[in-house]
Amino acid sequence: MTIKQGDALPEATFTKPGEQGPESVSTADFFKGRKVALFSVPGAFTPTCSAKHLPSYIEKEAELKAKGVDEIACTAVNDAFVMGAWSKAAGADGKVTMLADGNGDFVKAIDLVLDGSKFGMGTRGQRFSILVNDGVVEQLNVEAPGEYKVSSAEHMLTQL
């Protein structure tokens, strides 16, 4: 069943790019006791994700934090090395935390999987954003196929 507003995030493990290499972090530890703006993209370095989605959160970082967001995080079904390279290329370091969901375990657990096989991308995560408050979904914004509207930083700002 797809996650919904009011649900606690399920247990899953992300991999963050770190200075010493990939670092594992559980959903329980990452989201505990704080408000996190999490957004998911179908893939690092893909057109809409690189031209619009990630840049919206980089540009709106100060506004989101001024409205009570403790951290902004991006997830994709990519490995930590790709997510780290994308962060550097996009200028997201220090602004958006990259959470690799390399095997798609998180998007499977919340039932927001995208079948990108017709594009040669395999199983990915749908485009969405979640405002998480102490591990609980406060806002959930899932895009219609091919859309980029409700998962943007601009839209999330209207929900804070």
Q: Which residues are catalytic?
A: 49
Contact call for residues 125 and 104 (beta carbons, < 8 A): yes
Instruction: For the chain, give the number of residues.
Output: 160
Amino acid at position 155, single letter = H
CA-to-CA distance for 78 and 1, rounded, in angstroms?
23
Contact call for residues 99 and 82 (beta carbons, < 8 A): no
Amino acid at position 24, single letter = S
Q: Please report which residue ranges of 44-144 form alpha helices under DSSP H.
A: 47-48, 54-59, 61-66, 80-90, 105-109
Contact call for residues 112 and 151 (beta carbons, < 8 A): no
